Structure 1
Amino acid sequence: MSYKEKLEKCGVNWPSLSRPDLPFAPTKRIGDTLYVSGQIPEVADEIAYIGQVGKEIDVEMALQSAKICAANIVYWVEKSLDGDLDRVVQMAKMNIFINAVPGFTAYSQVGNGASEIMNALFGERGEHARCAVGMGGLPANVPVEIDAVFHVR
């Protein structure tokens, strides 16, 4: 089964993104380490979810946001590896930032959406260290932003 098919089986379409006109790159490779900049729940050129978790966004919508962020991470990894995701040796770390109201505590539950995507796509190579933390706000008022680090060949 292809990576695209695995992603669609998780309920997320393969992304179609364009590089943003920002003063940083979507990915940066240093040796065998690939850093992926923070990804938001962007589908094509639209933001799929906007709002704060616990206010405009419920846990299920936040979980879906995390899945979209994870898919966008994989998209940029594929681009940086010339279309060959088999060059991923191991996902090392994922940081999940959640724009949530004070008192919200289901950060791990939201983060599981992204972790499940990586595990489904990469199997053991997708097992990673991570943190899921609450923020008082995120760019464009998105509910979730995720960055990641991969070991690649």
Structure 2
Amino acid sequence: MTKVIEARLRHLSIELPHPAPPAGAYVPYVLMGSLLFVSGQLPQWNGELRFLGRVGSELTIDDGYAAARLCGLNLLAQAQDACGGNLDRIARVVRLGGFVLASPAFTDHPKVINGASDLMQDVFGPPGRHARFAVGAPSLPLGAAVEVEGIFQLA
């Protein structure tokens, strides 16, 4: 069977990181019926945490966008693991939730989390459109600028 999503990733020159191990007492994902819940992912590449600091003071919106995109890549890596290596099992991205470590006056959280949302739409096309929240947080694990979680529907 042709792996459409793998081909799209290659076409877009997108490489996925290795799935990150949990940083606490939880699992990276849970499958409930046809829904896959992926725990919050940080902006890390194969264990190296990137994009530390507050968006709106130490980091720009563009930095935050890149951090959210990297979180999205980690979501896809976890989803790929949950799907036995086959992202074509994903029928739809249902929802993303994004947290932004932001300076108190920062109000462009949606622009930051667009990094993950745009990635999902690029990879999955129309089924990548999803419901979402994007909020500011006074702190995030390990000082990361962004954390994103996701819910996917499996075929």
TM beyond 0.5: yes
Q: Which residue of 2 aligns with 1:29?
A: 31
- Map residues 11-90 of structure 1 onto 2, 5 A cutoff: 13-20=15-22, 22-90=24-92
**1:7–1:117 CA contact under 8 A, matched in 2:** no
Equivalent position to 1:142, from 131, 141, 144: 144
**2:96–2:148 CA contact under 8 A, matched in 1:** yes
By how many angstroms is 1:48 displaced? Answer: 1.2
* Residue 9 of structure 2 is aligned to residue 4 of structure 1: yes
Indicate how the Cα distance of structure 1 residues 7 and 148 shifts in structure 2: closer, same or farther if over 3 A, else same. farther
Q: Secondary structure at the match of 1:2?
A: helix
Please give the alpha-carbon distance, in whole angstroms, between the structure 1 residues aligned to 2:79 and 2:19.
Answer: 12
The gaps in structure 1 that reach 5 residues or longer are none
Indicate how the Cα distance of structure 1 residues 7 and 138 shifts in structure 2: closer, same or farther if over 3 A, else same. farther
Equivalent position to 1:100, from 99, 102, 109: 102
The gaps in structure 2 that reach 5 residues or longer are 1-5
Q: Structure 1 stretch 12-21 or stretch 123-132: which is displaced more?
A: 12-21
1:80-129 deviation digits (Å, cap 9, x = unpaired)? 00011111111110001000011101111111111110000001111100
Q: What is the RMSD computed on CA atoms of the aligned residues?
A: 1.5
Indicate how the Cα distance of structure 1 residues 51 and 145 shifts in structure 2: closer, same or farther if over 3 A, else same. same
Q: Which residue of 1 aligns with 2:3?
A: none
**Which letter does structure 1 place at the counterpart of 2:57?**
K
Q: What is the aligned length?
A: 150
Identical residues among aligned pairs (%) = 32
**2:55–2:103 CA contact under 8 A, matched in 1:** yes
Q: Structure 1 stretch 137-146 or stretch 51-60: which is displaced more?
A: 51-60
By how many angstroms is 1:20 displaced? Answer: 3.2
**2:92–2:153 CA contact under 8 A, matched in 1:** yes
**2:100–2:135 CA contact under 8 A, matched in 1:** yes
Q: Secondary structure at the match of 1:103?
A: coil
Q: Secondary structure at the match of 1:23?
A: coil
